[in-house]
Amino acid sequence: MNRVTNMSGKQSVTEQDTSTGRAIEHDSFAIIDREAGPHAYDPAQWSIVRRMIHASADFELNGLTAFHPEAVPAGLAALRQGGRPLVADVGMILAGLSCARLARFGLTPYQFIADADVIAQAQAQGTTRAVQAMRKALGLGLLDGAIIGVGNAPTALLEVLRLIATEGVRPALVIGMPVGFVSAAESKGLLVEVSPVPWITVQGRKGGSTLVVAAIHALLALAAETGEPLS
């Protein structure tokens, strides 16, 4: 792990291995801080939003990104405790995550969207693969205490919300950012009404696996700063 210094003078963890890479990341964050303008996020929340902007060059995320009041503390507590499942709706999220960072905190990644039994159940029950993938994760005992990332399938997020409401499932954190035009905004609108489980989301149609990956990496970087104040 290496570090870059942001405009506030605080150092942040980075996995850039070269001085050139660290300089580019430092300059990118400085540009984002300068051009983003005012925001209502606390420093820890902003480090997540800023990395999402860095991943997408979309400054509308400053304002569209919403946090449950306990989202960051709950996410960091889960990471620092270690050994948690990380359940994603699609493989794209897992492909984008740093294996070294996951290993540091003992996170085990899972996604079941392409499993043969998931496909068969979706066909038999007239649902989606995303729904059945989350049901499979439930059956394997992977959802309670997990970090759940949804960046593609609104039906996956809706199923997680159903399981929270009807089955008493209690993930440590839901990062719900499905992108799209059918049920994406609606599923996230329901997520922000959930109080028992902490969440991070992007309101409206915007979202995607890239943003989920960025949010997770930002949380992993914060968790690596053990003992350092978040504000």
- What is residue 18's three-state secondary structure? coil
Alpha-carbon radius of gyration of the chain = 17
How many Å apart are CA 118 and CA 139, to the nearest integer? 12
13: left (phi over 0), alpha (psi -120 to 50) or beta: beta
Q: Establish whether 217 is a catalytic residue.
A: no
From the candidates 26, 54, 68, 217, which is the catalytic residue? 54
How many Å apart are CA 129 and CA 121, to the nearest integer? 8
How many Å apart are CA 111 and CA 109, to the nearest integer? 7
- Judged on CB neighbours under 10 Å (0-12, 13-18, 19+), 195 is exposed
Annotated active-site positions, please?
54
